[in-house]
Amino acid sequence: MLSTRGRRWATALALVDVVLVAVFAVLAVRQFGRPDATAPPPDTIVVEPVDFTMPSGNVQCQMGPDRVVCAIANAFTWPQVTCRADHVVVLDATGARAACANEVTVVVGDGQQTVTIGGAVFPAGAQQLEYGQTQTLSGFTCESRTAGVLCRNSAGQWFTLRVFDGLRDGGPEQTPPTG
Q: What is the pLDDT of residues 76-135, one digit of tens each?
A: 555 555 554 447 888 999 999 887 765 666 655 554 555 555 555 666 778 999 999 999
Three-class DSSP category at 5: helix
Three-class DSSP category at 70: strand
Highest mean pLDDT of the ranges 25-39, 102-116, 157-171: 157-171
Q: Model confidence at 57, in pLDDT bands (50, 70, 90)?
A: confident
CA 112/CA 14 separation, integer angstroms: 66
CA 131/CA 43 separation, integer angstroms: 36
Q: Give DSSP secondary structure letters for 31-61.
A: HHSSPPTTSPPTT--PPPPEEEE-TTSSEEE
Sign of CA pseudo-dihedral 144, 145, 147, 149: negative
For the full predicted model, state whether its pTM sits above 0.75: no
CB 104 within 8 A of CB 98: no
* Burial readout 14-28 (b: 16 or more C-beta within 10 A, e: otherwise): eeeeeeeeeeeeeee
Tally the residues of the chain: 179
Greater confidence (17 vs 173) lies with 173
